Chains A and B, each alone.
Chain A
Amino acid sequence: MNENRRTQMITFFFIWLVVGILLAVSLKAQVQIRTAELPSARFPDLARAYLQEKRSAQALEEEIRSLRARITELENALATGTKQAQVLNQSLQEAKMLAGLTDVEGPGIELILRDSTKKVDPGSIESALPDLFIIHDYDLLRVVNELRQAGAEAISINGQRIVATTGIRCVGPVIFVNDVKMASPFVIHAIGDPQTLESALRMPGGVLQDIIEADPKMVEIKQLASVRVPAYTGSTQFRFARPVASEGKSR
């Protein structure tokens, strides 16, 4: 009887020991999740929240677009009064155009860059260089740079206006332009002299030569009488930079 009781005690002890270990391990895991990872590990909830956020972000961008257009209207209305106001407003509109805050229109080109769909023979040299057959972030960067050099006055990639603060960066399988994800095909609109822009891009040894040599179907250039380039809809808040007070006045 006494023997039996001892076995009971020992079993009891070890079971509670294991319960303690299990509890502590899961407690630790939960703490770890709460501090280091997402608040909820339930994937369907996160996916729904993500889609919702994305949709509301799109709606907000639409709002920014319409509000900025309204601001321009109001500025024009205000400027109808005095001569000074007109001059001021004119230089304001020019600055806004340069900053990419207004939709613009004019002659230009449409350049479409897409990943190659060419079937590559598995034994060939080409098959060892798969990165020749896709469009990279640096391709877009060089194209944008070349277009600017050729006198393009406004450029957009898949509807994203290229402005002074735009970044173009490869993130995994997609490319971020203005923090917006995009993938092939890339439709680039540029306003400028169509002939100059196209010949700048097609220059021998130029930015598109390697791509065209890999697969001519990856590049498509059209000269258009009228191209529309949308306004920049991202943030224009400066968090760090401040204008410097002019030298003469300071101190």
Chain B
Amino acid sequence: MIAVGLLGLALGILITYLFVNVPIPSEWSAYLSLAALAGLDTAFGGWRAALEGRFHPDVFVSGFIVNALLASLLAYLGDRLGVDLFLAAVVTLGGRMFLNLSLIRRYYLNQISLKRQRG
């Protein structure tokens, strides 16, 4: 599962650096970064769900798309309204990523100690 994820990530970055050359207007780049962050959050969430054995592709994909769009849209709305909703999205997504990563870390630590006990 990790290997597949990393492969996808590496391939995505590689493809973009080699073949994609879209100029992003500077006023949109912040929203794009936020969408990338939301995507990263969902991807970590999916990883955790897979480890816990309750991974559903439909939930995963829809969550990915909706979260990315919602985060960017919220930040845009915040800019229009003069409220920094950008920060709210960053804090929420960041917090969730740390939570998911810590759960993933614990899962692998558990696996290792289980193996040691058996061996």
Contact = CB atoms under 8 A, between A and B. Distances in A.
Interface string B41-76: 011001100100001010011001000100000000
Given A12-B4, A13-B5, A25-B32, A32 B24 contact: yes
B12 A24 contact: yes
Interface stretch (A3-11, A85-93, A133-141, A242-250): A3-11
Interface stretch (A15-23, A50-58, A162-170, A183-191): A15-23
Contact of A11 (B6, B14, B23, B57): B57
A12 B5 contact: yes
Contacts of A238: none
Main secondary structure of the interface of B (DSSP, over half): helix
A180 interface: no
A8 B50 CA distance: 8
A42 to B, nearest CB: 9
Interface string A20-42: 11111110111011000100010
A26 to B, nearest CB: 4
B32 A20 contact: no
B36 to A, nearest CB: 4
Interface residues of B, number: 40
Interface size class of A (residues with CB under 8 A): 20 to 34
A14 interface: yes
Given A12-B46, A15-B60, A21 B13 contact: yes
B87 to A, nearest CB: 12
Main secondary structure of the interface of A (DSSP, over half): helix
A54 B30 CA distance: 28
B33 A11 contact: no
B8 A14 contact: yes
Give the residue among A16, A17, A32, A33 with the most B Cβ atoms within 10 A: A16
A8 B35 CA distance: 23
A32 B55 CA distance: 37
B29 A30 contact: yes
Contact of A8 (B17, B20, B43, B55): B55
A20 B24 contact: no
A26 B15 CA distance: 14
A230 to B, nearest CB: 40
A7 B59 CA distance: 13
B26 A22 contact: no
Given A16-B6, A18-B39, A24-B12, 12 more contacts: A12-B8, A16-B7, A16-B8, A17-B8, A19-B36, A20-B14, A20-B16, A23-B12, A24-B13, A26-B24, A28-B17, A32-B24
Interface of B: 1, 4-17, 20, 22-24, 26-27, 29-30, 32-33, 35-36, 39-40, 42-43, 46-47, 50, 55, 57, 60-61, 64, 68
10 contacts: A8-B55, A12-B47, A12-B60, A13-B7, A16-B7, A18-B39, A20-B10, A20-B15, A24-B13, A29-B29
